[in-house]
Structure 1
Amino acid sequence: MNFDFSIGKGADIVVNYILDHFTPLLDAISAAIGLVTGSIQQVLLSLPPVAGILILAALSLWRVGGKFALFTLLAMALVLHMGLWEGMMQSLSLVLAATIIAMLIGIPLGIWMARSETVATITRPVLDLMQTMPAFVYLIPAAMFFGLGAVPGTIATVIFSMPPVVRLTNLGIRQVDGEFIEAGLAFGCTGKQLLFKVQLPNAMPSIMAGVNQTIMLSLSMVVIASMIGAGGLGNTVLTGIQRLDVGTGFEGGLAVVILAVVLDRITQSFGKERSGFLKRLAFFKKEASDVKQPVLNKQEA
Structure 2
Amino acid sequence: MLADPDVQAFLQDNQERISREMVQSGQSKLYEFYHEKQLAKKGETTVAPGYSPQLVLNSGQIDVTYVPTQQLLEKERQRHIQRLVRSINMPKFIQNASLDNFYIDEQHQTATRMAALKAAINFTDNYDPDHFMPGLYLYGNFGVGKTYLLGAIANELAKQKGVATTMLHFPSFAVEMRNSIKKNNTSEKLEAVKKAPVLMLDDIGADAMSKWVRDDVLGIILEYRMQEELPTFFSSNFSMDELEKNHLAIDTQGDHEPLKAQRIMERVKFLSRELPMTGDNLRSKG
TM-score per shorter chain, which class?
A: under 0.3
| TM-score normalised by length of structure 1 | 0.22
TM-score (norm 2): 0.23
More helix by share: 1
From the CA coordinates, give the structure whose radius of gyration is larger: 2
Which of the two has greater strand per residue? 2
